[in-house]
């Protein structure tokens, strides 16, 4: 089937789904009601499935129709973006752009960069999402994903760029150090109350140390276990214990003196930071512009 044949009836189908009736869709598209109804019927015949449940008073998408509707909206949106880019002669990033990022890192580090970027390019229509789970970047229509860790960077159909690696340090509140004393070696640190990160499955992240043969892992002395890095920072600031945290998470607190670094010689590398994006099917100008600004400004240490 020719590509042009596949597009027949999609505009009528989307309009009817949006508005809930063939009559309203006909008014939107300036067609007759009969033309809209026949167009949708031919589309259903070609697809060999029912897209709508029809009654005399209502028009409702079937489960198959709802799934097809999501795809059609994305396709029509991409076509609209392509026309906009061509109309702008490729001189300015325009159109929809979806960026996905980790929750805490996204709020603290990525959002300020993206807000400046979007202010400079008002023709972009952003959709910014925050997820710590693994997602299907292509299926969910993500243009650029910021990822901490190595997962997904080698997935089929994706390209990636390494732009830094976390630096992990031990830190505590000054009042906590005054009360317990500043530890001078690992063994003394392990005797102090700790605040490790805990996952929802019950596992607790160990502390990493720089050993003579490489990185050494030890179970943290858990005064309390928290499933949020931001909550860890707050608990450490309140003096409940020491924690091992990424420097990007506590830069402001270290500069203001709310936290102090413990055992500086035990700073270690954390997880890598990557930008990930689909190799094909994207409008390069907006993607290239987003990748450029994130690569230049989103360095972590």
Distances (CA, A) of 247 to 109, 169, 196: 12, 7, 15
Per-residue model confidence (pLDDT) at position 279 = 82
Place of tokens 């994207």: 282
What is the pLDDT tens value at each position of the chain, 301 positions in all?
445 556 778 999 999 999 999 999 999 999 999 999 999 999 999 999 999 998 877 899 999 999 999 888 888 877 776 676 566 555 788 888 999 999 999 999 999 999 999 999 999 999 999 998 888 898 888 999 999 986 656 677 888 889 999 999 999 999 999 999 999 999 999 999 999 999 888 899 999 998 777 788 999 999 999 999 999 999 999 999 999 999 999 999 999 999 999 999 999 998 999 999 988 755 578 888 999 999 999 877 5
Characterize the bridge pairing of strands 95-101 and 158-172: unpaired
Residue 139 Cα to chain centre, angstroms:
13
Q: How many CB atoms lie within 10 A of CB 93?
A: 22
Distances (CA, A) of 113 to 48, 105, 160, 199, 288: 47, 12, 19, 29, 15
What is the CATH superfamily name and number for domain 95-165+272-297?
Periplasmic binding protein-like II (3.40.190.10)
Whether 95-165+272-297 and 167-267 share one fold: the answer is: yes
Q: How many CB atoms lie within 10 A of CB 73?
A: 15
Residue positions counted in the chain: 301
Per-residue model confidence (pLDDT) at position 301 = 59
Q: Which CATH class is domain 167-267?
A: alpha beta
The encoded tokens of residue 168 equal 């992990």
Query: What is the residue extent of each domain of the chain?
Result: 3-87, 95-165+272-297, 167-267
CATH match for 3-87 among 1.10.3720.10, 3.40.50.720, 1.10.10.10, 2.60.40.1180: 1.10.10.10
């Amino acid at each position: 089937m020719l590509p042009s044949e596949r597009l027949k009836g999609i505009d009528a189908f989307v309009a009817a789904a949006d508005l809930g009736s063939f009559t309203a869709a006909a008014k939107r598209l300036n067609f007759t009601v009969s033309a809209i109804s026949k167009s949708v019927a031919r589309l259903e015949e070609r697809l060999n499935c029912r897209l709508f449940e029809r009654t005399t008073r209502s028009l409702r998408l079937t489960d198959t129709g709802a799934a097809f509707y999501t795809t059609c909206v994305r396709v029509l949106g991409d076509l609209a973006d392509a026309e906009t880019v061509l109309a702008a002669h490729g001189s300015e990033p325009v159109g929809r752009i979806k960026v996905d990022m980790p929750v805490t890192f996204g709020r603290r580090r990525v959002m300020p960069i993206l807000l400046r970027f979007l202010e400079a390019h008002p023709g972009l229509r952003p959709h910014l999402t925050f997820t710590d789970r693994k997602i299907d970047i292509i299926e969910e229509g993500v243009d650029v994903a910021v990822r901490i860790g190595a997962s997904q960077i080698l997935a089929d159909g994706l390209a990636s760029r390494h732009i830094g690696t976390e630096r992990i340090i031990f830190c505590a509140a000054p009042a906590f150090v005054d009360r317990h004393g500043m530890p001078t070696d690992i063994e003394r640190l392990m005797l102090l109350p700790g605040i490790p990160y805990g996952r929802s499955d019950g596992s607790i992240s160990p502390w990493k140390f720089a050993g003579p043969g490489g990185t050494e892992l030890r179970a943290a002395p858990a005064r309390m276990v928290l499933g949020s890095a931001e909550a860890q920072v707050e608990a450490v600031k309140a003096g409940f214990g020491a924690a091992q945290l990424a420097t990007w998470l506590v830069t402001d607190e270290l500069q203001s003196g709310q936290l102090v670094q413990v055992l500086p010689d035990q700073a270690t590398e954390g997880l890598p930071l990557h930008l990930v994006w689909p190799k094909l099917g994207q409008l390069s100008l907006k993607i290239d512009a987003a990748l450029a600004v994130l690569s230049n400004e989103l360095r972590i240490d």
